[in-house]
Chains A and B, each alone.
Chain A
Amino acid sequence: MASRSISDALTVTTDEPTRHDHTTKHWRQDALFRGTTQLFAVLVLGVLAAIVVSLVIGAAPAFHKFGFHFIFGTEWNPVTEEFGGFVPIFGTVVTSAVALCIAIPLSFGIALFLTELCPASLRTGLGTIVELLAAVPSIIYGMWGLFVFAPFFAEHVQPIAQSTLGKVPGLALLVQGPPMGIGILTAGIILAFMVIPFIAAVMRDVFEVVPSILKESAYALGCTTWEVTWNVVLPYTKAGVMGGIMLGLGRALGETMAVTFVIGNAYDLSWSLFGPGNSIASSLANEFAEAHSEMHTSALIALGLLLFVITFLVLAFAKVLLQRVARREGERT
């Protein structure tokens, strides 16, 4: 930062008009260029503002008519124009929670493998492969989920789960219903695979910035690799790991196509993870282009607004946590 301000001081002197004629021209060109770039930066801010304003305007009729019932009502009927968004909101939250429960331990394992166990020659290659999982388009996960994973899940996993967990009182409620392969749990599992690359990449990056002296001190005391990771690396990188998880959550909440393929698209509220459901994003993908009544469109935009507000808060939290890590890293070096 210090060297940056020196360069600024230097360039500022060229900004000021001096006795040379052409410097006035340069000064004007500079102002023009600066203004242009600033305009485009403001444009990015403007997009965010415009999104919020346009969604609020679009959602106003639905919120006005249903009030809080829009969030807690479970009836969603375009024919009678009764719109309560609880089922898609619930589906969004549950699928994301399932995804995180699966993705966090797996991402931690992958990050641990890449930073501590993997031979240095394989590190970049394997890291890239995990990152490529993030590049595969959402719709491909959806197709794979519907045509490959769901039948596999219905045939091999669900019957076993029902014959074992189904016998346990309390848990039985979660696994009841016909094993169709698609449903809330399948959507959560597919989502987990989609967010693993994001969480794992952040975890790997923050694990790498742990000062070696801390780790070496722990090893010198006789700690095992696992103990070093659990008691030194993880506490040191707490904020960064949390930021990565929030980033993954933000992705999972808004993921659309993969969920639309496998969630079942039904406005049913049930405790069973095997049952079909709906998420905000999948409701939008399925219904928006076909919504004809004004209230239906408005209700869907209202769902979109809720989704945007939730993901915005989650992502902002992630950003703040990760910035704190970056700042600490900056102080250290």
Chain B
Amino acid sequence: MIMNLYTKRIVVNRLGLALSMVAMAIGLGALVWILGTLLLNGIGALGPKVFTQMTPPPGSDGGLLNAIVGSLLMVGVGTLIATPTGVLAGIYLAEYGQRSWLAPVTRFVNDILLSAPSIILGLFVYAIYVANVKHFSGWAGAMTLALIAIPVIVRATDNMLSLVPNSLREAAAALGAPKWRVILYVTLRAARAGVVTGVLLAVARISGETAPLLFTALNNQFWSSDLNAPMANLPVVIFQFAMSPYEDWEHLAWVGALLITFSVLLLSILARALTRQKIAS
């Protein structure tokens, strides 16, 4: 078949656009496939027992209570460490860093830490903390999670403060407010929704982190709220149970996966809704 240039261009165009739609469909399909799998495998085993019983030994009945509590504790402590650290560092970058070399360098490094492999941060905490105290612990896990969360919060605070119009700062300064008051009571307040979004995204990110917890918090078969001892947590329990040959454990792993994914997705959607509302208003 002989095609003239015109038909050829139209065919190439149609083909390209069709492939682009296929790409979009593959992207959507992957998400639907993954969520569908989770629902299919997880929902059957989901019951009140999951929230009231401890992780079982192989072959017997149980739940995920200690893992859920452990995860909540470590994510909570990690967020409590990371939020003030990240917000203060972000304030420096956005409000004081215009003329110094420190701010651009820190921003650059922070962006790299944001995408750096989380397992390296686990290695780092192992090397400086776990290897010295010679036991795995919840503290080590919480520290690692904080290190992962800090860059997310720094970036969000920095970006959101930079979006606050300077006229606000100038108005406050003209009223005689010292700079620290201007920042804390005017600019930070104006950027509040964005900073909260950053914190929520950070929590979403660290809730599912598994790799760095493998050699910091490790795991604990039993109930423990002692942060100075190895601590059960959902991601590591999922990993251990999913890789095991026992069917009960595998079911529990799917339930855990379902819980984690939907809470993480919910947090991400909530965070997005928060900023969108802010922009709309």
A positions within 8 Å CB-CB of B: 3-8, 10-11, 14-15, 26-27, 29-30, 32-34, 36-45, 47-48, 50-51, 54-55, 57-58, 105-110, 112-114, 117-118, 126, 128-133, 135-144, 146-148, 193, 196-197, 200, 224-227, 229-230, 247, 250-251, 253-257, 260-261, 281, 284-285, 288-289, 301, 304, 307-308, 311-312, 315-316, 319
Contacts and interface: CB of A to CB of B under 8 A. Distances in A.
Given A51-B120, A135-B268, A256-B211, A42 B27 contact: no
19 contacts: A34-B180, A41-B92, A44-B109, A44-B150, A47-B147, A48-B109, A51-B120, A108-B23, A109-B24, A110-B23, A136-B208, A136-B265, A139-B208, A143-B253, A144-B33, A225-B17, A254-B117, A311-B115, A316-B108
Contacts of B253: 143
Contacts of A126: 24, 28
A284 B123 contact: yes
A38 B166 contact: no
Interface string B199-224: 00000110111110011001000000
Given A45-B105, A304-B120, A319-B111, A139 B210 contact: yes
Contacts of B124: 50-51, 54-55
Contact of B119 (A136, A284, A316): A284
Interface centre among A7, A129, A133 (most CB of B within 10 A): A7
Interface in B120-144: 120-121, 123-124, 126-128, 136
A288 B115 contact: no
Nearest to A297: B131
B12 A30 contact: no
A33 B188 CA distance: 14
A32 B127 CA distance: 33
A37 B92 CA distance: 5
B169 interface: yes
B235 interface: yes
A227 B11 CA distance: 12
Contact of A224 (B10, B99, B105): B10
A61 B179 CA distance: 50
B191 to A, nearest CB: 15
Given A256-B210, A308-B117, 17 more contacts: A6-B166, A10-B174, A11-B179, A38-B102, A45-B105, A47-B113, A48-B113, A106-B27, A112-B20, A128-B272, A137-B207, A247-B115, A261-B242, A285-B119, A289-B136, A301-B123, A316-B108
A112 B19 CA distance: 10
A138 B208 contact: yes
B37 interface: yes
Given A4-B166, A58-B127, A256-B117, A105 B23 contact: yes
Contacts of B3: none
Interface residues of chain B: helix, strand, loop or mixed (majority): helix
B71 to A, nearest CB: 12
B1 interface: no
Given A132-B265, A289-B215, A227 B9 contact: yes
B163 interface: no
Contacts of A130: 27-28
Nearest to B10: A224
Interface residues of B, number: 98
A15 B239 CA distance: 55
A137 B7 CA distance: 46
A14 B113 contact: no
A7 B91 contact: no
Given A41-B106, A106-B23, A288-B214, A135 B264 contact: yes
Of B85, B112, B204, B211, most buried by chain A (CB within 10 Å of CB) is: B211
Contacts of A32: 180
Contacts of A148: 33, 37
Contacts of A10: 170, 173-174
